[in-house]
Chain A
Amino acid sequence: GENVEQHPSTLSVQEGDSAVIKCTYSDSASNYFPWYKQELGKRPQLIIDIRSNVGEKKDQRIAVTLNKTAKHFSLHITETQPEDSAVYFCAASIWVNTPLVFGKGTRLSVIA
């Protein structure tokens, strides 16, 4: 089955700097790659997703890139703010309406 590896497990950046989180997956049949943000004690919330027919997607300060050949995808957050501090999870699945396999998460701390 699918296996998703996520790095780093913790990341500290200064406010205004960029943050990059990387994930690799094992199943070439996966076509859907969402990123979720989870604040302490709260539900995971989708922040951006990418489907296999595109290589990059951007939404304001957040961007995701996908390399299907190498089976890896990355989350880029620019101009980080303290409210970006949270745990970020990458995930992979066959398609949007199929079960997600999550990475172990990255705890991002943005230092003011």
Chain B
Amino acid sequence: DSGVTQTPKHLITATGQRVTLRCSPRSGDLSVYWYQQSLDQGLQFLIQYYNGEERAKGNILERFSAQQFPDLHSELNLSSLELGDSALYFCASSGLLAGEYNEQFFGPGTRLTVL
């Protein structure tokens, strides 16, 4: 168990719908990252938040948005869903340990299926 939690574990929805994926980082970690894993694109970085503020943006579609709340949990919102959005969505977190940044720990992922 990495200490990063994600809900829900599975999500099945229809095209055109909107869903919200939730992530709670490891205790004390200020950085949250979202990654998408699909068969054709592999593991791709979407967006990073650090202590509530957006830190970096990757291959995130305009239909997708995210935020990090004061308690450091993060939500990834996916709207106007398309079949191609079906994928595993991972959240990862990292933080400081004894003055050094530790590696990114991944959550169990949310499997999104768009029908």
Chain A residues close to B by CB (< 8 Å): 34, 36, 42-46, 49, 89, 95-105
B42 and chain A: residue at smallest CB distance: A104
4 closest A-B pairs by CB:
A102-B43, A96-B101, A97-B101, A43-B106
Flag whether B74 is at the interface (Cβ < 8 A): no
- Interface size on B, as a range, is 20 to 34
A43-B90, A49-B103 are contacts. A101–B109 as well, Cβ < 8 Å?
no
Flag whether B44 is at the interface (Cβ < 8 A): yes
Contact between B103 and A96, CB atoms less than 8 A apart: yes
Contact between B58 and A99, CB atoms less than 8 A apart: yes
A89-B43, A99-B45, A105-B42 are contacts. A46–B103 as well, Cβ < 8 Å?
yes
Taking the closest CB of chain A, its distance from the CB of B15, in whole angstroms, is 25
Contact between B90 and A97, CB atoms less than 8 A apart: no
Flag whether B65 is at the interface (Cβ < 8 A): no
Contact between A95 and B43, CB atoms less than 8 A apart: no
Q: Which residues of B contact A98 (CB under 8 A)?
A: 48, 56
Which residues between 63 and 115 of chain B lie within 8 Å of chain A, taking CB atoms? 90, 94, 100-109
CA distance A30 to B45 in the complex (A): 16
Flag whether B31 is at the interface (Cβ < 8 A): yes
A89 and chain B: residue at smallest CB distance: B43
Contact between B103 and A102, CB atoms less than 8 A apart: no
Q: Which residues of B contact A99 (CB under 8 A)?
A: 33, 45, 48, 56, 58
CB<8 Å pairs between A and B, sample of 12? A36-B106, A42-B108, A43-B107, A43-B108, A44-B106, A96-B94, A99-B56, A100-B33, A100-B35, A100-B45, A102-B44, A103-B42
Contact between A101 and B45, CB atoms less than 8 A apart: yes
CA distance A105 to B39 in the complex (A): 11
Flag whether B2 is at the interface (Cβ < 8 A): yes
Q: Which residues of B contact A104 (CB under 8 A)?
A: 42
CA distance A45 to B94 in the complex (A): 13
